[in-house]
Amino acid sequence: ERERLARLRHTPAVTIDGQKIELLANIEQPDDAPAAVKAGAVGVGLFRSEFLFMGKTGNLPGEEAQYQAYRQALDGMQGLPVTIRTIDVGADKPLDKGHKDNYLNPALGLRAIRWSLADPAMFRTQLRAVLRAAAHGKVKLLFPMLAHVSEITQTLAQVDLARAELDARGVAYGPVQLGAMIEIPAAALMVRTFFKYFDFLSIGTNDLIQYTLAIDRADESVAHLYDPLHPAVLRLVADVIAEGHAQGKAVSVCGETAGDVTMTRLLLGLGLRSFSMHPAQILAVKQEVLRADTRKLAPWAQQVLQGEVPAA
Ligand code: PEP
Ligand code: MG
C-alpha cells in the first residue's frame, strides 16, 4: 500500500471532474520541510512557529535566529510557498513545560494572538524576522485565534510598525500575504469582516471543534464528544468556505480534519480546494482526491449539512 501511494507523489491532485486541489504540509520545525517536499506537498500551509520557542523560556530566539529558521524552511521547500503562523503558545502548548499555568482556564486565556498582542515588542521581533525572510521566497503570514475586530486592527498595525522599523534600519524585506486562522466560532460567524482585512483564511478545526462544542481537545474523559461531524461544526466550516468562493479569496483547512481521509470527500463536497496536513497524510488524501467527483459530492454534502443523511 505504501509503495502504491508513493507512486502518487508526482501525480497532480486533480479530481475526476478536473478540480485542482492544493495539498499543503503542516510543519513544526524548518527541518520538517524536506519531508514535506518529498511527500508531494505544494507548499507549507501551516508552520507552527511556536515550536521554535517552546522549552526555551528565558532564551527565546531573537530576530536573527528566527529569520534564519524561516529562511531554512523556505530553502527546504525549494521555492514553494510557506505560510508562517505567528506564535501560538498557551493551553496545550505551554512555553515552558515545567511551568504550570495558574490560569483557571488556559484554553480561554492568554494564548496565541492574545499573548503576542500583550507583548508587542516581542511580537514585532517575530514579524520583522518573517518580513525579512519574505525577501527570499514566497511567504504568507498567518495569525492564530483572532476573534475581535480590535485584535485584527491591532495586529495589522503591528505589521505596519514592523515594516517601518525595518525601513528605519535600512533592512530589506519582502511582500507577504496576510491571513487569519478561523478557529473561534465568533470568527467563523463574522467571516465577512475577516475577509475585509485579510487576503486568505485558514480554518483551524482542532480549536474550532473545541470551542464550538465546549470540549477540551486534550481531555480524554470527553474525547468521545469531540466530533468533527457535529452539524454545528460543519455549518461553520461550510459557511467560511462558501464565503471564500463568494469573495474569490483562498480558504484552507489546516486542522486535523484536513488530513483525515474519512473527511476528504465531505470537505471537497463543501467546496474546499486547499488542505494542509501532516506530511505523512498527503498521499493518502491525494488518493481520495483522485477518486472524487465534486459534482456528485456537492449535493451530497449539502444533505449532510442538513443532517438528512449520515456523513460517512
Ligand atoms: C487548529 O486549531 O486546528 C490548528 C491548526 O492549530 P493548532 O492545532 O496548532 O492549535
Ligand atoms: Mg489552533
Nearest to 244 by CA among 204, 209, 211, 202: 202
* pLDDT per position as a tens digit, 133-157: 999 999 999 999 999 999 999 999 9
In this prediction, residues 195-200 reach a mean pLDDT of 98
Mutation test residue for ligand 1: of 44, 47, 85, 88, the one with most atoms within 8 Å of CB: 88
Query: Could you tell me the three cell numbers for 140?
Result: 504568507
- How far apart are alpha carbons 299 and 218 in whole angstroms? 34
Residue 311, pLDDT score: 67
Instruction: Report which protein residue has its CA nearest ligand 1's atom 4.
Output: 204
Residue of 254, 258, 268, 304 marked catalytic: 254
Yes or no: say if 212 and 233 are a contact pair by the CB < 8 Å rule: yes
Q: Whose CA is nearest to atom 3 of ligand 1?
A: 204
Say what the pLDDT of residue 96 is.
75
At 75, list the grid cell.
Answer: 530553502
Widest CA span in the chain:
60
C-alpha 78/C-alpha 179 separation (Å) is 22
Residue 97 corresponds to which cell in the numbers above? 513545560
DSSP alpha helix (H) spans, 170-204: 185-189, 191-197
Residue 102 scores a pLDDT above 70: no
Residues annotated within a binding site: 48, 85, 183, 206-207, 217
Helix (H) or strand (E) holding 283: helix 282-290
- DSSP state at residue 101: P
Alpha helices (runs of H) in 55-174, residue ranges in sequence order: 63-76, 112-118, 120-133, 149-169
Residue-level pLDDT at 106 = 87
Give residue 307's pLDDT: 82
Kindly report the backbone phi and psi dihedral angles of residue 139, in degrees, each rounded to the nearest multiple of 5, phi listed first.
-120, 135
Buried b (16+ CB within 10 A) or exposed e, 135-156: eebbbbbbbbbbbeeebbebbe
Confidence (pLDDT) at 178:
98
Tens-place pLDDT, residues 44-93: 999 999 999 988 767 889 999 999 999 999 999 999 999 999 999 987 78
Residue nearest ligand 1's atom 8 by CA:
206
pTM for the model stands at: 0.96
Residue 1's pLDDT is: 77
- Residue 103 pLDDT > 80, yes or no? no
54 close to ligand 1 (CB < 6 Angstrom): no
Three-state secondary-structure class, residue 135: helix
Per-residue pLDDT reduced to its tens digit, 214-245: 999 999 999 999 999 999 999 999 999 999 99
Better-predicted residue by pLDDT, 164 or 5: 164
Q: Evaluate if residue 310 carries a pLDDT over 80.
A: no
Query: For residue 92, what pLDDT is reported?
Result: 77
Q: Answer yes or no: is pLDDT of 249 > 80.
A: yes
Of the candidates 278, 269, 283, 214, the residue with the CA atom closest to the CA atom of residue 241: 269
Check residue 214 and give its pLDDT.
97
Sorted by sequence, the CB contacts under 8 Å of residue 124 that are 6+ apart come out as 158, 161, 162, 165
Cβ contacts of residue 156 below 8 Å, gap of 6+?
178, 197
List the grid coordinates of 11: 501525480
The pLDDT, as a whole number, for residue 114 is: 97
Confidence of residue 101 (pLDDT cuts 50, 70, 90): low
